[in-house]
Each structure stands twice: as C-alpha cells, then as structure tokens.
Amino acid sequence: MRRSVPDVRGGRTRPRTRRRAFSLLLGVTLLGSTLLSLGPAATSADELSDAYQKQKQLQALIKKQKAQIASLSASQQSLTAKIGATKASLSEINANLQVVKTQIVSMVVEVAKAQSTIDELVATGTRLDAELADLEAEEAAKQAELDARKELLAARIRDAYETDRTSLLESFLAGADFTDVLTEVGYHLDFAGEDKLLADQIVADQGVLVVLKQNVELARDETQQLHALADEQKQILDGQLKELADARRELASLEAETERLLAEQQASYAELASDKVALAKKLAANQEAQRKLEALIERLVREALAKGGIPSAYSGTFSWPMSGYVTQEFGCTGFSWEPPLGSCRHFHRGIDIANTYGTRIYAAGPGKVIFAGKSPYDPAYIVIIAHASNLVTWYGHIQTRIPVRAGQYVAEGQLIGFEGCTGWCTGPHLHWAVQLNGSWVNPRLFLPR
C-alpha cells in the first residue's frame, strides 16, 4: 500500500507526490545526461550482429586450422615412416643408392611443405593472439558499459520508490534474470520512456556481452591449443630434419666409397682400352664365351630336371649373396665393355657388388649347384645354382677356391665362394645375375621388399 499524509489545508490525506515528482525529475535529468554518454540504444542490434559475425569468422578460421593440423599430422606420420624406411634401406647389406637418393629428395620436399604449414600455424597463432586481445578489450568495455547502465537504472528505481520498498530494490540488484526483474518492477512502477529505453538497452547489452564472452573463450582456447600444437609439430619436424640429415650423410659416405671402388675398376678398364683393336677382339671373345656358357647351363638344367633333381617352380625369395657396395646395377649402362642387349648399346646383365678381396659369398636361395669352377670358354671361375627348372642364379669372378661342387644341394645362406677377380675383371667384385625362363632379369626383383 502507498503511504498517505495529512493535508493541512483540507484535513484530508494524499500521497507524497511532491517527493516522488522531485525524484522523477532528478532521475530523468541524470538519465538524460548518462544516456548521451553511453550512446543510443539503436546500436545494440548492430553490436549483437557484429558479435555473431565475428564468432562465425572465428569458427571458420578454427575449422580451417583444425583441418590443416589434421593434414599436417598425417603428413608428419607418413614422413616419419618414410625416413625410417630410408634409414633401413641405407643399413641394408647392399643399398640401392639411386633409389635412396630419390627418396631423400622427395622427403626434403615434404619437409619443406611441413615447415611452410607450421609457419602458417604460427602466423595464425599470432593473429589469434591479437584477436583475443581485441575481444578481451571489447568485452571489458561492454561490461563496463553494462555496469554503468545497471547502476543508473538502479538509482532511478531507488529514487522512484519509497524508502520502505527496499526489498524490491534488493531483488533487482540480486536478480539472476534481469528481464524477470524488470517485469516485476513494472507491476509497481510505470516507467517513463527514458526508463524503458534504458532497460531495453541493458537487456540488449547483456545479450551482446554473452556472445562477446563466448568469442573470448573460443579465441582463448583455440589460441592455447594452436600454440601447443604448433610447438609439438615443430619438435617433430626438428627431429625429422635431424634424421634426414643423418641419412644424407650416410648416403654421401656410401656414394663416396662406391665411387672409389668404381674409379678403380674404370682405371683398370682404361688400361685395357688403350689398345682399341685388342679391346674389340676381347669384347667379341667375351660375348661369344658368354653365349656358349649360357647354352651349356641351359642343357645342364634340362638334364637335372629330367633326373628329378630340381623342382619345376620356385616360390621363395632371395637374399643378398655378399655384403658390399653396388658398383653397377642391372640394365642399360654407360660402361662400354658391356655387350649390347635389346635396344641398349651396352647392357649389364646382373649386379656388381664390390668389397674387400676374399669376402665370403653365399647362396641367394636353396637349390642345386649346376656348375662350379672355371668356365670352359674363358678364365673366369663361376658358380651357378638352379633353384627351379626356369630360375638360375650366377656368381661370377670368384676366387679359384670353391667350397661347393656341381650336383651338390645348397641351402640359402650357405657358403659357396669368395670374392675375386677371375676372368675379364677390372677389380675385385662379385657379378651376381639371375636368369628367369632363359632371360636375364633384375636380381632385386627377388629380394624382400
């Protein structure tokens, strides 16, 4: 109930309207000056729209960065596996240096891409740091603006009510839902237009502030995660760079040793090539000797098969017959002492492996020794093993001391000879060759992948 006071002029009671009128006038005056300083209420809709727009932009940026991080993580895992495989290849008995070199070049490109992605993540982190600072400042400004408007409206309500209506004021100041409090106050007080404007602005400001707080939390969480992930990926990349550098040094060392051994063979060949007429005759004689030996081996394999001494097919793989450095791969070559084959002017029919003179040579796979000893057509000593009726391995230029004999069965890894330089040889090495169905094929095809 409203309190009445005596009317000394007429003996009646009336509400204390003068005090309220004065309070309303004071409140409106304060409201007007404060509203001018806080800005028009019409901007709140734009502010809310801007806040939501900024939230969408942040979400889009975060989505993009997460996809980029996922792609980078997968790429890093793949690169780590490739580096491991390359290091394993380098540690093999006879590394294919050309293949390893190609792998390393490919990985260098991948590392450069990863570095670029990480640099972009760091730049995005810096951008989010600046964005977070702006959002925090915007949030603080909006919070201060909201607090000022709330304080103004609280003062307005305080002045508009009698001193015994403090319970309503306390309810307003402690209310969790400002809109509900305004509804409650509205039952007891008819707001002036300025009061309604201010109350609506407070409600709108609260909505803007909620979105601003969400934006701040979103930016803060993403910034922390992005910095952590960028640091993690950088550490992984640093480790990969170190391993890649180690692999490149190992490759350079193997290439240098291979070049040294190859240079020795080339020097020996240069001496032979000084007499071109003699060299041409020797090349022709060697080619004829090779043809005759192939015919002999083909006959011996047929005889062994007829006697039931070898299987008709071979389903296993081969192992390297000797450790060392591959000085010449299978296929077309620039070495002019190799005979022609197919479209190649010079074709190397096997793989040359060089090592210390006398290095042990082992059977690449189980089979029957078809030939062991000096070739009947040239000075070379050789061991030839039939693994099946259509699969034969050759081990050439070996020393004269041979621990196996023709007709003997050998197991994979069994000692069959020692590295030498018999026959037409330009330096100690093993010439390892594979015949499949009468054709020369790359021995690497039979090695485990």
For residue 14, being part of any structural domain is answered with no
Q: Distance between CA 91 and CA 86 in Å, rounded?
A: 9
Pick the closest to residue 199 from 185, 214, 213 (CA basis). Answer: 185
Q: What are phi and psi of 232, to 5 degrees?
A: -65, -45
Q: Distance between CA 449 and CA 189 in Å, rounded?
A: 88
Pick the closest to residue 50 from 212, 201, 206 (CA basis). Answer: 212
For residue 269, being part of any structural domain is answered with no
Whether the pLDDT of residue 392 is over 90: the answer is yes
For residue 145, being part of any structural domain is answered with yes
78-92, 213-227, 400-414, range with greatest mean pLDDT:
400-414
Say whether both 433 and 335 belong to one domain. Answer: yes
Q: How many domains does the chain divide into?
A: 2
Say whether both 402 and 441 belong to one domain. Answer: yes
- Give the per-residue SS3 of the chain: CCCEEECCCCCCEEECHHHHHHHHHHHHHHHHHHHHHHCCCCHHHHHHHHHHHHHHHHHHHHHHHHHHHHHHHHHHHHHHHHHHHHHHHHCCCCCCHHHHHHHHHHHHHHHHHHHHHHHHHHHHHHHHHHHHHHHHHHHHHHHHHHHHHHHHHHHHHHHHCCHHHHHHHHHHHHCCCHHHHHHHHHCCCCCCHHHHHHHHHHHHHHHHHHHHHHHHHHHHHHHHHHHHHHHHHHHHHHHHHHHHHHHHHHHHHHHHHHHHHHHHHHHHHHHHHCCHHHHHHHHHHHHHHHHHHHHHHHHHHHHHHHCCCCCCCCCCCCCCCCCCEEEECCEECCCCCCCCECCECCEECEEEEECCCCCEEECCCCEEEEEEEECCCCCCEEEEEEEECCEEEEEECECCCCCCCCCCEECCCCEEEEEECCCCCCCCEEEEEEEECCEEECHHHHCCC
Q: 396 with 430: CB under 8 angstroms?
A: yes
Taking residue 39's Cβ as centre, other Cβ atoms within 10 Å add up to 12
What pLDDT score was predicted for residue 35? 41
CA 342 distance to own-chain centroid: 42
259 or 165, which is more confident: 259
Residue whose structure tokens are 């005596």: 6
For residue 56, being part of any structural domain is answered with yes
Say whether both 339 and 392 belong to one domain. Answer: yes
Q: Which domain holds residue 427?
A: 276-446
For residue 85, being part of any structural domain is answered with yes
Say whether both 104 and 155 belong to one domain. Answer: yes
pLDDT tens digits along 302-321: 888 888 778 888 888 999 99
What pLDDT score was predicted for residue 173? 56
Residues 263-276, mean pLDDT to the nearest whole number: 66
For residue 388, being part of any structural domain is answered with yes
Least confident of 27-36, 241-250, 382-391: 27-36
Say whether both 239 and 288 belong to one domain. Answer: no
Say whether both 86 and 222 belong to one domain. Answer: yes
Query: What one-letter code names the amino acid at 22?
Result: F
For residue 9, being part of any structural domain is answered with no
The CA–CA distances, whole Å, from 204 to 179, 198, 209 equal 10, 10, 9
Say whether both 242 and 321 belong to one domain. Answer: no
**Res. 281 pLDDT band, cuts 50 70 90:** confident
Which are the contacts of 430, defined by CB distance < 8 A and separation ≥ 6?
321, 322, 324, 352, 353, 354, 355, 359, 361, 395, 396, 397, 398, 419
Domain boundary among 207, 227, 257: 257
pLDDT tens digits along 71-121: 888 888 888 888 888 887 777 666 677 788 888 888 888 888 888 888 888
164: left (phi over 0), alpha (psi -120 to 50) or beta: alpha
Q: Distance between CA 289 and CA 61 in Å, rounded?
A: 73
Say whether both 109 and 171 belong to one domain. Answer: yes
Residues 187-194, mean pLDDT to the nearest whole number: 54
Say whether both 309 and 434 belong to one domain. Answer: yes
Q: Which CATH number do you get for residue 398? A: 2.70.70.10
Domain boundary among 190, 223, 257: 257
In total, the chain counts a number of residues equal to: 449
Structure tokens at 281: 């005759």
Say whether both 292 and 252 belong to one domain. Answer: no
Q: 135 with 219: CB under 8 angstroms?
A: yes
Q: What integer best gives the mean pLDDT of the chain?
A: 78
For residue 267, being part of any structural domain is answered with no
**Res. 13 pLDDT band, cuts 50 70 90:** very low
pTM value is 0.53
Say whether both 252 and 391 belong to one domain. Answer: no
Structure tokens at 429: 């090495």
Q: 68 with 117: CB under 8 angstroms?
A: yes
Say whether both 70 and 219 belong to one domain. Answer: yes
pLDDT tens digits along 421-442: 998 877 889 999 999 998 999 9
The radius of gyration computed from the CA coordinates of the chain, to the nearest angstrom, equals: 46
Domain boundary among 257, 287, 318: 257
The CA–CA distances, whole Å, from 32 to 18, 141, 146, 147 equal 21, 21, 16, 17
The CA-CA-CA angle for residues 96, 97, 99, to 5°, reads 70
Q: Distance between CA 239 and CA 247 in Å, rounded?
A: 12
What pLDDT score was predicted for residue 87? 80
